[in-house]
């Protein structure tokens, strides 16, 4: 239960901190940290415009997208305390529930009949497909390393002791941040602030959403960041007591937001046609982690 509370609190500030970092990096004052939440609150109060081409799919899709993210949040633990649901191989459930949200966001984009949104849908489907293996291999390596197969047990048993395990934790952090960037369609993969629809992935899919639905989608995005942040935190706080773990949680979330802000400020987006290769490369990093785990366990002998 603790994890939900922490993730929601982190989600409130996460995108605001990213935006603030970006504006400071470009020499502007920028909006307040709570601005994204204010935007969403305003959207929740607004009416909606629906395309005449669209059907009921378009209206239920944001709901299911949001629900899938909340559901995924329920299985994420916090250190010693379990998530609301915790069972064997719950990380598979985590990934597949998020896939349902993706399924609906893709078909809702196709529902509008817009060529731009179809393009975004096609890219989203392809990129998220390539991102999945990295996550499964990552979790598989940890399962191998710890001998457990549920999020909570894995993270509770994960001890960082040797040099190789430091390297593994760093690599895992890198993979998780990159997966978070892909899932949220952020900079190296996708540029949410571009002026041209042709160069977008996620933003172009939700062109026609408005009002409450758009609010749900944006909130879902904020939550997703905080969820992946929580997973990264979990890599490090396995056996730490709560009085240190909770501040550490917010520090790591803050650092992650700042890092994402800096990446967005100083990096250019990859070429759209090379994105797929880049995401597949992530799988090979995950394989490195796997072989690292083999090394630690001495399976090569």
Residue 163 makes CB contacts below 8 A (sequence gap 6+) with: none
Residues 241-300 that bind other proteins (CB under 8 A): 273, 276, 283, 287, 290, 294, 299-300
Indicate the SS3 state at residue 42: helix
Q: Which CB, 52 or 161, lies closer to other proteins? A: 52
Q: Which CB, 30 or 118, lies closer to other proteins? A: 118
Residue 75 engages other proteins in binding (rule: CB under 8 A): yes
Q: What is the DSSP letter of 200?
A: -
Which range of residues in 31-39, 208-216, 222-230, 232-240 is near other proteins by CB under 8 A? 208-216
Counted residue by residue, the chain has a size of 301
Which range of residues in 212-220, 224-232, 240-248, 262-270 is near other proteins by CB under 8 A? 212-220
| CA 132 to chain CA mean position, Å | 12
Q: Which CB, 44 or 174, lies closer to other proteins? A: 44
Q: Which CB, 255 or 281, lies closer to other proteins? A: 281
Which range of residues in 18-26, 133-141, 187-195, 221-229 is near other proteins by CB under 8 A? 133-141
Write phi, then psi, for 78 (nearest 5 degrees). Answer: -135, 100
Q: Which CB, 163 or 300, lies closer to other proteins? A: 300
Q: Which of 9, 12, 67, 167 binds other proteins (CB under 8 A)?
A: 67
Q: Which of 82, 123, 186, 224 binds other proteins (CB under 8 A)?
A: 123
Residue 183 engages other proteins in binding (rule: CB under 8 A): no
Q: Which of 1, 5, 32, 113 binds other proteins (CB under 8 A)?
A: 113
Rounded to whole angstroms, the maximal C-alpha distance in the chain is 65
Which range of residues in 29-37, 115-123, 166-174, 178-186 is near other proteins by CB under 8 A? 115-123
Residues 4-63 that bind other proteins (CB under 8 A): 44, 46-57, 60, 63
Distances (CA, A) of 141 to 22, 132, 177, 180, 204: 34, 14, 17, 19, 35
Residue 128 engages other proteins in binding (rule: CB under 8 A): yes
Q: Which CB, 91 or 225, lies closer to other proteins? A: 91
Residue 217 makes CB contacts below 8 A (sequence gap 6+) with: 62, 65, 66, 105, 206, 209
**Angle subtended at Cα 157 by Cα 153 and Cα 161, rounded to the nearest 5 degrees:** 160
Q: What is the DSSP letter of 32?
A: -
Query: What's the rounded Cα separation, in Å, for the pair 77 and 154?
Result: 10
Task: Write down the least CB distance from residue 159 to other proteins, Å.
Answer: 17
Q: Which CB, 125 or 263, lies closer to other proteins? A: 125
Query: What's the rounded Cα separation, in Å, for the pair 291 and 233?
Result: 23
Which range of residues in 30-38, 121-129, 174-182, 261-269 is near other proteins by CB under 8 A? 121-129
Please check whether residue 182 is in contact with residue 145, taking contact to mean a CB–CB distance below 8 angstroms.
Answer: no
Residue 241 makes CB contacts below 8 A (sequence gap 6+) with: none
Residue 87 engages other proteins in binding (rule: CB under 8 A): yes
Which range of residues in 2-10, 16-24, 125-133, 231-239 is near other proteins by CB under 8 A? 125-133
Dihedral of CA 32/206/217/53: which sign? positive
């Amino acid at each position: 239960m603790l994890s939900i509370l922490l993730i929601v609190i982190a989600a409130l500030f996460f995108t605001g901190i990213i935006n603030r970092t970006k504006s400071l990096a470009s020499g502007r004052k920028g909006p307040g940290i709570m601005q994204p939440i204010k935007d969403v609150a305003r959207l929740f109060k607004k009416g909606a415009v629906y395309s005449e081409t669209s059907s009921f799919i378009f209206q239920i899709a944001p709901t299911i997208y949001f629900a899938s993210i909340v559901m995924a949040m329920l299985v994420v633990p916090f250190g010693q305390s379990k998530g609301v649901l915790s069972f064997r191989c719950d990380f598979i459930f985590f990934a597949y529930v998020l896939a349902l949200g993706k399924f609906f966001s893709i078909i809702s984009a196709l529902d509008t009949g817009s060529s731009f949104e179809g393009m975004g849908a096609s890219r989203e489907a392809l990129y998220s497909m390539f991102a999945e293996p990295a996550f499964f291999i990552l979790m598989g390596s940890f399962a191998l390393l710890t001998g457990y197969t549920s999020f909570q047990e894995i993270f509770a048993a994960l001890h960082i002791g040797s040099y190789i395990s430091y390297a593994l934790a760093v690599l895992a952090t890198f993979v998780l941040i990159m997966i978070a960037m892909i899932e949220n369609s952020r900079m190296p993969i996708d540029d949410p602030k571009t002026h041209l629809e042709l160069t977008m992935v996620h933003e172009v899919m939700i062109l026609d959403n408005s009002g409450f639905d758009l609010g749900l989608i944006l909130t879902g995005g904020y939550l997703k960041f905080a969820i992946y942040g929580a997973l990264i935190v979990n890599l490090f706080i396995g056996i730490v007591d709560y009085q240190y773990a909770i501040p550490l949680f917010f520090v790591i979330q803050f650092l992650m937001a700042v890092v994402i802000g800096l990446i967005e400020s100083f990096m250019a987006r990859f070429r759209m046609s090379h994105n797929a290769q880049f995401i597949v490369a992530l799988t090979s990093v995950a394989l490195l982690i796997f072989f690292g785990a083999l090394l630690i366990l001495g399976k090569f002998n």
